[in-house]
């Protein structure tokens, strides 16, 4: 079954694979697959529905749990920042962007702190907002390396987001060699 899931993931990411952006291989942790990209790798749950966005300002791979609706994302934000750009600047830019995206939906930072991502210090942000009558939550870990910005994000309806999945993706995150 694991091999069938890997084949499914590979099939759906064929566009990204052909572009040399993503490859999939078995992961060490049970029930996960390792996704290797041209910028980073991380482990994601096998059986989650994959996809990707390749936009001017970012490259994102994402995986959706069909049972809970939760979405796990690995993001590379294109365009290197200058040497003065800090993790604090990255966090502020992210919160400002999310405030704008969820304007009028009671978006707020519920928790923030440090995270270890890619073996280095990073930021952690938990935000919440309302989507109709649903309470939503988003976990974001940020990594900054030589002006390049990376994020692991997991979001969905509050109570349906398994933070252990997010934490595993963050701990398995590594920059491409």
* CA 1, 70, 51, 133 torsion-angle sign: positive
- Which residue in 48, 60, 47 sits closest to 21, CA to CA? 60
Q: In the prediction, which pLDDT does 118 show?
A: 82
Burial 89-117 (b: 16+ CB within 10 A, else e): ebbeebbeebeeebeeeebeeeeeeebeb
Which of the four pLDDT bands, split at 50, 70 and 90, describes residue 30? low
- Say what the pTM is: 0.83
pLDDT at 10 over 80: no
When pLDDT is cut at 50, 70 and 90, the band that residue 34 belongs to is confident
Per-residue tokens: 111: 């928790």
């Amino acid at each position: 079954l694991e091999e069938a899931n890997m084949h499914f993931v590979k099939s759906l990411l064929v566009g990204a694979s052909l572009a040399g952006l993503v490859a999939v291989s078995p992961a060490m942790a049970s029930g996960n697959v390792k996704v290797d990209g041209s910028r980073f790798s991380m482990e994601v749950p096998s059986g989650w529905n994959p996809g990707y966005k390749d936009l001017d300002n970012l490259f994102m791979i994402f995986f959706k749990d069909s049972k809970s609706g939760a979405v796990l994302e690995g993001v590379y934000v294109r365009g290197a920042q200058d040497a003065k750009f800090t993790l604090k600047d990255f966090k502020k830019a992210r919160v400002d962007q999310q405030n704008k995206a969820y304007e009028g939906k009671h978006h707020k930072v519920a928790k923030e702190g440090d995270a270890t991502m890619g073996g280095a210090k990073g930021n952690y942000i938990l935000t919440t907002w309302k989507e109709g009558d649903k309470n939503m939550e988003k976990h974001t870990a940020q990594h900054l390396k030589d002006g390049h910005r990376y994020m692991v994000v997991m979001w969905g309806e509050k109570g349906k987001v398994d933070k252990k999945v997010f934490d595993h993706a963050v701990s398995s995150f590594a920059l491409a060699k």
